[in-house]
Chains A and B, each alone.
Chain A
Amino acid sequence: MSKKQEKKKKRQLSLRQRNALDGYLFLVPWLAGLALFTLFPMLYSIRLSMGDVQMAPTGIKIRFVGIQWYQEAFTLDTTYTVSLLSTLKFVLLSTPMIVVVALLLALLLNGKFRGRSFFRAVFFLPVIIISGPVIQELLTTRAAAVIHPEDFLIYDFIASLPAVLSGPLLYIFDNIVLIFWFSGVQVVLFLAGLQKIGQPIREAASIDGASPWQMFWKIDLPFLRSLILLNTIYTLVQLSTFSSNEVNQEVLNKMTLVGKTYGYSAALAWIYFACMLSVIGVAFLLLRERKEKKG
């Protein structure tokens, strides 16, 4: 018996190895690009963040200074921690809102109704507009300010609530337009996911007497789980790398600080990067698909 089984085992192993090899074959271009255009600049940037950079005519000289810039960011710098905290607050409060709003908009657009393609076209506009110099134009020319939330009665009511409750709520009201604007890509992804839920499943469920409400919780939501994770990560990155947010501005402004050229701003960017990466890690752990153990 042993010989035959051994042979079988060997063949299985080689199958697995072949699969692994194939995987790397498809990843080769990406891996090469990762090394050249991401990892190398990343490591170089770490070196900059721990160095005193001298721009000499012969080239760049970097003298190692250890974690001096990192310490100074928290001790000497008066503005950095403030803008770091406010940016983190902005990202943490906006992300769940944007994902939920995007899901609601996608549900609104899903299904068959008159004017569907028109509304889809309109809801996709933010993708085109939010990413370019266009949004800068809109913000400076106040073209995006269609709703003035402070005009509504409910705004005053919420403002009178205790700060723990009113803080996030007021934030949502103040940024409602921005939240809509940032949800374009996420809507499209959710919509693509919703379309893939087969009609037969819904029909079967509705014959069994499921209400739309139950169908949402039992069919749509579990199906969209991986997309919720994807959209959350996307939103976190989109918000944190948005070039006009406070920390990114800080990094840009301190790029050519006298005596701290490039090095100091690199350190600031790395602190921010570490914060964002841990936020994404937490989001991932919370939202990932748990592998169910089957008997």
Chain B
Amino acid sequence: MKDKKSLLGMIARYLLLIGISAVFLYPILYMICNSLKSVQDLVNPTVEWLLVKPTWENFTKALKTLRYGSTLPFTIFYTLAATLAQTVSCAMAGYGFARHEFPLKRFWMIMLVAAFLIPAQVTLVPKYLMFYNYGLTNTLFSIWLPALLGQGVNSSIFILIFENFFNSYPKSFDEAARLDGAGRFTIFFRVAMPMVKPAAVVSILFSFVWIWNETYTAGQLMGAELRTLPMKLESFVAEFTSIYSSGSGDMSARLNESSRLAATLLVIAPLILLYIILQKSFIRGIDAASGVTGE
């Protein structure tokens, strides 16, 4: 009786899991499929999913248009530096909020949320003028500096996440270290940070993805010279047609779309790779943390 019930529950669970996975996987499959379509497949109305003559041509064109070989290392370097800066500054702020009582704390917490909510469109013009005055426009520092001071992409949410995690392990750990004579920064880096490893992994992973994908502010502040992969994707159609101008008409538009989908896949591929790499340590970190805090 009980077995029958749990079997049914399991079937229901897998049906739901598979159904929802389909919603998420469909766009990826659509992109892969359409980016591999050759001219023959595009012309053939019976070809929807099963390709008769798949081709890498769209990918080689997209690689060339994006200048993948040089843009990819640059984008990784830029994003990684901003990610690490942002994670350290947010962890410090989160620790300050979670582990200390001080005057105006509530006020600063409200400012934290307010800072998060302000749309980039509002502050862009003043920000640009300020960086221009200091000669920091068209440099990477126009993005790195805010990240280092906890004002990067969605920094507030990371501060809140760190605050949440720092709050969830006993204060006695910190106090024990203090009694052993550890200084405040030693406690922070050697005792507190290892306790919130899952939060750090979440912060690194999400920061990387969001900074990678952020093109609105960074595109304005870093100028026309420093262009990341997603920025190049935004101007892909213009650049593509200037290299491979193949006349007009429906056919070339659809060919362009195939190349654009190939380019889109190339732009998110590093992110998916990063996730696959970090996923294991993400889960391991969570499991390790739950062993300690689940008293």
Contacts and interface: CB of A to CB of B under 8 A. Distances in A.
Do A and B originate from a single complex? yes
B275 A196 contact: no
A106 to B, nearest CB: 12
A33 B89 contact: yes
B53 interface: no
A181 B157 CA distance: 19
Contacts of B149: 29-30, 32-34, 36-37
B125 A248 contact: no
B25 to A, nearest CB: 6
B101 A20 contact: yes
Q: By DSSP majority rule, is chain A's interface helix, strand, loop, or mixed?
A: helix
B56 interface: no
A196 B23 CA distance: 28
A40 B130 contact: yes
A63 interface: no
A181 to B, nearest CB: 8
Q: By DSSP majority rule, is chain B's interface helix, strand, loop, or mixed?
A: helix
Given A29-B150, A134-B264, A241 B24 contact: no
Contacts of B157: 234, 237
A230 B119 CA distance: 19
B135 interface: no
Interface string A233-255: 11001001101000010011001
A192 interface: yes
Interface string A117-130: 10111111111110
Interface of B: 10, 13, 16-17, 20-28, 30-31, 34, 89-90, 92-93, 95-97, 99-103, 105, 108, 111, 113-123, 125-127, 129-130, 145-146, 148-151, 157, 159-161, 164, 168, 184, 188, 198, 202, 206, 209-210, 212-216, 230, 233-234, 257, 260-261, 264, 267-268, 271-272, 275-276, 279-280, 283, 286-287, 289-290, 293-295
Interface stretch (A92-100, A148-156, A157-165, A268-276): A268-276
Contacts of B27: 129, 138, 143-144, 146
B290 A233 contact: no
A73 interface: no
A192 B103 CA distance: 31
Contacts of A198: 290, 293-295
A195 interface: yes
26 contacts: A23-B97, A25-B96, A26-B96, A26-B100, A29-B149, A30-B92, A33-B150, A34-B150, A36-B130, A37-B127, A37-B149, A37-B151, A38-B115, A38-B151, A41-B130, A128-B272, A146-B26, A180-B20, A181-B24, A192-B202, A196-B286, A233-B113, A234-B157, A237-B116, A280-B113, A280-B117
B30 to A, nearest CB: 4
A48 interface: yes
A27 B26 contact: no
A121 B261 contact: no
A295 interface: no
Interface string A1-43: 0000000000000001001111111110111111011111110
Contact of B117 (A21, A227, A240): A240
B215 A133 contact: yes
Contacts of A20: 100-103
